[in-house]
Amino acid sequence: MAALKVAVVGAGVIGLSTALCIMETCPNCSVTILSEQFSPNTTSDVAAGMLIPHTYPDTPIHVQKQWFKETFTYLFAISNSAEASEAGIHLVSGWQVFKNTPKEELPFWSDVVLGFRPMSKAELQKFPQHQSGQAFTTLKCDCPPYLLWLEKRLKAAGVQMYTRKVADLWELHGKYDIIVNCAGIGAHQLVGDKKLLPIRGQVLKVHAPWVKNFIRDGDGLTYIYPGIHRITLGGTREKENWTLSPDPGTTKDIFDRCCSLEPSLWGAQDIQVKVGLRPSRQCVRLQREVLSQGGVKLLVVHNYGHGAGGFSVHRGTAKEAAGLVGECIAALQGSSSKAKL
């Protein structure tokens, strides 16, 4: 049987990592990425890239934990290799602080990150407006370098990449055997998923190389995430807001909130403002689907809807999506050998 052709729609962190996992698990198929935008113009480029999971209400916690663990283990190995600086992956230590005692003392991911513990009284003196906190070390992706590193690996593995907007998955029928939908918020239009909604996020990327520790307010709204070259200051979570242009009032508000947590940021320089739309859903859509039109079938694997936590779970969900592609390949090979008989 000739090599099966797989098209991955989307070139954010989910599309690129899914394409890579497909190449690793199904080396005999040919993979093409079709995307309206590539780095640096995706939502994934805007993200802070911190590995602190977001919770998906309709996905069992043990599944979310497994996705996070696989992602953490994968990136930890990169951070511990000569590839780390090119891939933009590094360890970062810091604090999550709470004004009120959090509902759950131990988040489900506390034994995946490193050295999770309650903050000491001495540490809490840095945060006079907060009552308690958690200290830990996690990983951070500097997003544009990580996306370019994934693209480089894909090109080396022979994956073709084309800039193309796909208006309807059926456009790809005949040319490809399996379609993998990693269109992020674009899936709202592409497959008409009304359960998928944007949560607008505005962040600032600033130069303040003296800030080495991350600080996250437990409400999830205000955060300071140091990267290799710049620090991400956040943020906002605006449900069903599709506006991509930055709002100057919000920029000032984010900067003030972050300076109140870390006063040395008043000296930050070169403030850039970015906006992205988190592809939000009650659960990630990780699913096989057989579309059918007039007796003709199209095999689709969906992997989208990662909301505020795409970087935290990308490798785990990419592996699962590659497994679903493997199931489609087995089904196609089964039907072609039956046809020969």
Give the strand pairing for 178-181 and 160-163.
Answer: unpaired
Query: Please, which residues have CB within 8 angstroms of residue 282's CB and are 6 or more apart in sequence?
Result: 56, 57, 58, 195
Query: Which C-beta is closer to ligand FAD: that of 321 or that of 328?
Result: 321
Residue 184 sits in the site that holds ligand FAD (CB under 6 A): yes
- Using CB under 6 A as the binding rule, the residues of this chain from 202 to 241 that contact ligand FAD are 203, 235
C-alpha pair distances (Å), 41 with each of 37, 142, 143, 275, 276: 6, 15, 11, 11, 10
Query: Which C-beta is closer to ligand FAD: that of 15 or that of 133?
Result: 15
Residue 48 sits in the site that holds ligand FAD (CB under 6 A): yes
Round to whole Å and give the CA distance between 90 and 225: 12
At its nearest, how many Å lie between ligand FAD and the CB of residue 41?
A: 7
Range in contact with ligand FAD (rule: CB under 6 A) among 121-129, 131-139, 179-187, 285-293: 179-187
**Omega into 144 within 30° of 0, i.e. cis?**
no
Q: Which of 72, 9, 10, 64 is nearest to 284 (CA)?
A: 64
Residue 49 sits in the site that holds ligand FAD (CB under 6 A): yes
Round to whole Å and give the CA distance between 41 and 7: 20
Query: Which C-beta is closer to ligand FAD: that of 120 or that of 272?
Result: 272
In the list 10, 88, 107, 226, the residue contacting ligand FAD (rule: CB under 6 A) is: 10
Question: Cα angle vertex 196, ends 235, 96, to 5°?
Answer: 30
At its nearest, how many Å lie between ligand FAD and the CB of residue 331?
A: 25
- Using CB under 6 A as the binding rule, the residues of this chain from 60 to 119 that contact ligand FAD are none
Q: How many CB atoms lie within 10 A of CB 220?
A: 14
Query: DSSP E strands: which ranges in the chain?
Result: 5-9, 30-35, 89-98, 114-118, 132-141, 160-163, 178-181, 197-207, 214-217, 223-226, 231-234, 238-239, 269-280, 285-293, 296-304
Residue 304 sits in the site that holds ligand FAD (CB under 6 A): yes
Bind-site residues for D-dopa: 223, 278
In the list 50, 215, 268, 324, the residue contacting ligand FAD (rule: CB under 6 A) is: 50
Query: Which C-beta is closer to ligand FAD: that of 283 or that of 332?
Result: 283
Query: Which C-beta is closer to ligand FAD: that of 306 or that of 319?
Result: 306
At its nearest, how many Å lie between ligand FAD and the CB of residue 242?
A: 13
Bind-site residues for FAD: 43-44, 166
Residue 165 sits in the site that holds ligand FAD (CB under 6 A): yes
Residue 276 sits in the site that holds ligand FAD (CB under 6 A): yes
Residue 316 sits in the site that holds ligand FAD (CB under 6 A): no
Residue 47 sits in the site that holds ligand FAD (CB under 6 A): yes
Bind-site residues: 43-44, 166, 223, 278
Letter string b/e over residues 150-171, b meaning 16 or more CB atoms within 10 A of that residue's CB: bbebbeeeebebeeeebeebee
At its nearest, how many Å lie between ligand FAD and the CB of residue 217?
A: 14
Round to whole Å and give the CA distance between 10 and 251: 29
Q: Which of 336, 327, 315 is nearest to 288 (CA)?
A: 327
In a 3-state reduction of DSSP, which class is residue 101?
Answer: coil
In the list 134, 222, 312, 317, the residue contacting ligand FAD (rule: CB under 6 A) is: 312
Determine the size of the site formed for ligand FAD (CB under 6 A). 41
Element (H, E) at 187: helix 187-190
Residue 329 sits in the site that holds ligand FAD (CB under 6 A): no
Site for ligand FAD, rule CB under 6 A: 9-15, 34-37, 42-44, 46-50, 165-166, 182-186, 190, 201, 203, 235, 276, 278-279, 304, 306-312
